[in-house]
Amino acid sequence: MWTHVIIVDLLALILFVLGFHLAFRQRLVRGAWAKWRGTPPPRPRAKGADADPAHYALIISGVMVMAFGAILFFFTTVYGLLTGTQGP
């Protein structure tokens, strides 16, 4: 029925989950990147050590991707509902 709305909503959900993992599950994401590149996983830093500069960049980019996925999902669904989108 609403094939294009469902496809865009699934893409938006994927973006939301990806953004969540980038922002809040960084150890998992960094481990997956290391495995994909074939390098050893990064060593955890000590509590008192200087913060990793990529840590904050991953939080910011993850929240931006997560917000984009949520907005895309919301706008596509609401537009489909308000316009009465009909399938072929």
In angstroms, the CA 15 to CA 47 distance is: 31
**pLDDT value, residue 61:** 93
Pair 2, 80: CB distance under 8 Å: yes
In angstroms, the CA 9 to CA 85 distance is: 14
**pLDDT value, residue 27:** 82
Asked whether residue 83 carries a pLDDT value surpassing 70, the answer given is: yes
In angstroms, the CA 69 to CA 18 distance is: 9
pLDDT tens digits, 38-60: 887 777 666 655 567 788 888 89
- When pLDDT is cut at 50, 70 and 90, the band that residue 72 belongs to is very high
Pair 17, 65: CB distance under 8 Å: no
Asked whether residue 87 carries a pLDDT value surpassing 70, the answer given is: no
**pLDDT value, residue 75:** 93
